[in-house]
Amino acid sequence: MKQLPARREHMLGRSGTFLTLACAALCASLATGCANTPSTIVQGPLTAPPISRPASVERVNTGSLFQPGMASLYSGRQKPRHIGDTLKVDISENLRASNTVKNDMNRESSFKSKGPGNADPSNLLSGLMNQNISGSGSTAFKGDGTTKNDSSFSGQLAASVINVLSNGNLVVAGERSIALSGSVSTMRFSGVVDPKDIKEGNVIISSDVVNARLEVVSQGDVADSTTRNWLQRVLTNNLAVW
């Protein structure tokens, strides 16, 4: 069999190494681009089934007219207190923020030095010592910027109790999806509710919810046209000129 020259074998080896490095760099870039997909801010389960109560457990009589879990005497509707109970979240969020920054700085400096004028001419430094020196300088900086954010969101969402904390507060979460003309809009909500803040009709205002998490995401042609694809994310993260 014919043997390839040593130089050609060396060139083929270098080409194979280059292709391997190029493939590795491409895979790393693709992984970086795909990793930039934003994740949901509403963590955890969005629903929980009610816990079945044992039928053989005897109800404890506390001697009070108002027993735990009783409905209200006025509305006749029991407030959510257990896992699996539902309530309505009245979402009304308004955010207004503005910031204005203005900088205007000036600085001037000057100096003046007068030589004695009586240096010995035979001295090598006589020219420098007899010379009058003066100088001045100034710097200036001016900049200004303004930021403004004005957003509002309103709606209503049904949520369920997914956990009951030791102090009686309720961890609630819910999700609602609407499909229309090839697009799907999903609204998610989660937070901690104090049962004392629940209004008539089992309605809680979003401003009374602790650690509230609210998001609205869309999928479809409209959402795809307003977001960058994986290739654009790769080029943005790896090429500064893009």
Q: How many CB atoms lie within 10 A of CB 71?
A: 10
Q: Match 């609407």 to its residue by tokens.
A: 178
Q: Is 177 contained in some domain?
A: yes
Range of the domain at 230: 86-96+148-238
Q: Spell 201-233 as b/e; 16+ CB within 10 A means b.
A: ebebebebbeebebeeeeeeeeeeeeeeeeeeb
What pLDDT shows up at residue 219?
Answer: 80
Q: Is 166 contained in some domain?
A: yes
218 has pLDDT over 90: no
What pLDDT shows up at residue 76?
Answer: 60
Q: Is 130 contained in some domain?
A: no
Q: Is 172 contained in some domain?
A: yes
This prediction's pTM: 0.55
189 has pLDDT over 60: yes
Decide: 140 and 105 in contact? Cβ < 8 Å. yes
Say what percent of the chain tops pLDDT 90: 19
Q: Tell me, what DSSP letter sits at residue 197?
A: G
The domain total for the chain is: 1
| The most confident of 26-30, 120-124, 160-164, by mean pLDDT | 160-164
Could you give the CA distance from residue 145 to residue 131 in angstroms, rounded to a whole number? Answer: 48
Q: Is 205 contained in some domain?
A: yes
33-70 tens-digit pLDDT: 444 444 677 777 887 887 776 666 566 666 666 555 55
Q: Is 125 contained in some domain?
A: no
Q: Is 65 contained in some domain?
A: no
Average pLDDT of the chain, as a whole number? 75
What pLDDT shows up at residue 136?
Answer: 85
77-129 tens-digit pLDDT: 788 888 999 999 999 888 888 889 888 888 888 877 776 666 666 666 666 66
Q: Is 7 contained in some domain?
A: no
What pLDDT shows up at residue 25?
Answer: 57
